[in-house]
Amino acid sequence: MPDDLADLRCEAKTRAGTPCKRKDIYQNGRCKFHGGLSSGAKTAEGKARQLAGYRHWQEKQGMRKDKIAQKNAHNE
């Protein structure tokens, strides 16, 4: 990054409506919090991988709920 841009601030609008004051900006002029969100998977392979991970997460959440229900039944 050029020296004349070294002390710039992010200045993206925060949730409170005030400008961000972070100095550690990237080349796009924003900090790590305001650089923008991921655009997501573009290829069919990437989308399938995301879907598989999401389904795995859903199964894991269901298993946790079952374990909590079993503990609550055992304690009563």
- Phi and psi torsions of 52, nearest 5°: -65, -40
pLDDT in tens, 31-45: 888 876 677 889 999
Q: Does residue 51 sit in the same domain as residue 73? A: yes
Q: Does residue 46 sit in the same domain as residue 29? A: no
How does pLDDT run along the chain (76 residues), one tens digit per residue? 566 667 788 888 888 989 888 888 877 778 888 876 677 889 999 999 999 999 998 888 887 777 777 767 766 6
Q: Which domain holds residue 14?
A: 1-37
Number of domains in the chain: 2
d(CA 21, CA 12): 8
Q: Does residue 33 sit in the same domain as residue 49? A: no
**Nearest C-alpha neighbor of 36 from the set 19, 54, 12:** 12
Q: Does residue 20 sit in the same domain as residue 33? A: yes
Q: What is the pTM of this model?
A: 0.42
Q: Does residue 33 sit in the same domain as residue 1? A: yes
Q: Does residue 47 sit in the same domain as residue 26? A: no
State both tokens at 8. Answer: 């710039």
